[in-house]
Homo-oligomer: A and B are copies of this chain.
Amino acid sequence: MSNPCNQCLARRGTICSALDDAAVAQLFAVANVERHRAGTWLVNPGDRADDVWMLRDGHAHVSRITRDGKRQILAFLFPGDFFAFTQEERYVYGAYADADLLLCRLSRARFEAFVDATPELDRRIRAQLARSLDSAQELIFTLGRKTALERVASFIWYLQYRQRKLGRSGPRWAIPMSRTDIADFLGLTSESVSRAITQLRRDGLIDLPVAGEVEIRDMPRLRELGVVIAEPVARD
């Protein structure tokens, strides 16, 4: 497997150590374990939505594509992430392996039965779904109301936030996806992403010491730029 956990960029709060948990280990025991090669589709739009999946190793993304070939990435998937919980009869999106993958597949019926019987896992699944929804709403806000520069700033801020949550303190790390992937996630073109990164560098908010790596130089200003929500009046 080409991408160990040090490139992990799981959704906010989805920590890889989830894998250590007894209930999840039990789930692994019941599920089919599958391998997929980098560059293949795990799920195709139009397939019957009969299964539920969990990613154990590698990274992938979920995307939708328009008739005229425009792509929108809905989420990046990393070790520990469950996906394909749709309530539709068929998937409307596809899931694509960005690296060699190891994953668990469970039929929906077996999954339901197993979860019903395992309250601990059940709470965990609810929490994961709620977190996926948090992430999706964050992206909706980004796509709906941020400028290109703000989108890219918030993306880098988010990468950094993830690193920190995973216990890695360094302000410098590898960006695990291409400019085109970032663009298709942020609703931009790769040119606009390039320009935004250049501007962030010129303004001294970030640096690209080596190709493929970022370093944050001015945390407060990057946050100010990317996290544009009105400062709430913290009432309890």
Contact = CB atoms under 8 A, between A and B. Distances in A.
A87 B14 CA distance: 11
Given A129-B129, A133-B85, A232-B44, A187 B144 contact: yes
Interface in A140-194: 140-141, 143-146, 184, 186-187
A93 B86 CA distance: 24
Contacts of A19: none
Contacts of A132: 133
A133 to B, nearest CB: 5
Contact of A87 (B13, B85, B231): B13
Interface string A51-93: 0000000000010111111111011000000000111101011
Interface string A107-129: 00000100110010011011101
Contacts of A70: 145
Contact of A233 (B44, B143, B187, B233): B44
Interface of A: 12-13, 44-48, 62, 64-72, 74-75, 85-88, 90, 92-93, 112, 115-116, 119, 122-123, 125-127, 129-134, 136-141, 143-146, 184, 186-187, 228-236
